[in-house]
Amino acid sequence: MKLPWPNVFADGDVEKWISDLELIASCNGIKGSAHIVTALGSLLTGRARATYDLNLESNRALNYDNLKSALVAEFSKEDDREKAMNRF
């Protein structure tokens, strides 16, 4: 059974979105880091796509785990700032 791809990601809960992407990719028979990286690149916009492109230029995006870590780190910084601002 093939599942539809998740919506394009630009901002929000990146860890949940990545988890959904991995599940859908697995169900759709997508295996291997290079295939997931390709699929991921076509589903990112905005700041997420900028993070992807920056990592692609340094060849870090060719490894799915590196790219995933970079995306989580980028969006975790924003969450940390929001939490800190909400304390005031």
Give the model confidence (pLDDT) of 29-67 as tens digits. Answer: 888 888 888 888 899 999 999 999 988 887 765 788 988
Scanning 1-88, the segments in alpha helix (DSSP H) are: 14-27, 33-42, 46-57, 64-86
Q: What domain range is 32 assigned to?
A: 14-86
Burial of 74 (0-12, 13-18, 19+ CB in 10 A): middle
In the chain, the number of structural domains is 1
- Residue scoring higher pLDDT (62 or 11): 11
d(CA 80, CA 30): 33
Given this model, what pLDDT does residue 84 score?
45
At 83, the pLDDT band (50, 70, 90 cuts) reads low
- 6 occurs within a structural domain: no
In 3-state terms, what secondary structure has residue 44? strand
> Looking at the domain assignment, is residue 43 inside a domain?
yes
**2: confidence class by pLDDT, cuts 50, 70, 90:** confident
* Residue 5 within a domain: no
Is 7 a domain residue? no
Q: What is the per-residue pLDDT for 78?
A: 56
Torsion over CA: 12, 46, 35, 2 (sign): positive
